[in-house]
Amino acid sequence: MELMPSLLSAALLLLLSPGTLTGVPKMDAVSVPIGVEVRNLLHNSRPLTLSTGTVYRGILLGALKRLMSTNANFAFTYTEDRNYGPSLDSVNGLAGNDYDRTYWELLVETPDGNITRPDVGIGCYIPNANENIILNFTTW
């Protein structure tokens, strides 16, 4: 009967270990690859295409911060609104403004080529693997 407690302990350990039997990956170990494309057709600029990733079920804001810390060709700023959360202000030094009626639009291109505008912003959007996140400088 001494074997029984150790078997129960081993079984419990397996059940409590993320990803062991459930197929759910460890939260800090999985990188979801995404692309980030910076578009500025208003100034006839070539799109800038970059690659980054986020942790499993991580938000876009974290992926953008990761990209900025690892790539000198990408920088962004955002404003935190207490009611609506983070909103993108500038990308690579270019900010939208009310006078010119410009802003940074968030678009998502799925692997099958569909482009949509998410109904949430950079602080709530959870990228899926191999999506292309488009930061599009445009007018309203």
Torsion of CA 16, 24, 51, 94, to 10 degrees: -80
pLDDT at position 4: 54
Strand order in the sheet with 102-109: 48-55, 31-39, 132-139, 102-109, 115-116
Q: Is the pLDDT of residue 18 over 60?
A: no
The residue with greater pLDDT, 22 or 100, is: 100
pLDDT at position 131: 98
pLDDT digits (tens, 9 = 90+) for 19-75: 444 455 555 545 899 999 999 989 999 999 999 999 999 999 999 999 999 999 999
Helix or strand run (H / E) with residue 76 = strand 76-81
Mean pLDDT estimate for the chain: 87
The residue with greater pLDDT, 41 or 110, is: 110
Domains of the chain: 26-139 (2.170.130.30)
pLDDT at position 100: 96
Q: Is the pLDDT of residue 10 over 90?
A: no
What mean pLDDT is predicted for residues 80-95?
95
What mean pLDDT is predicted for residues 85-109?
97
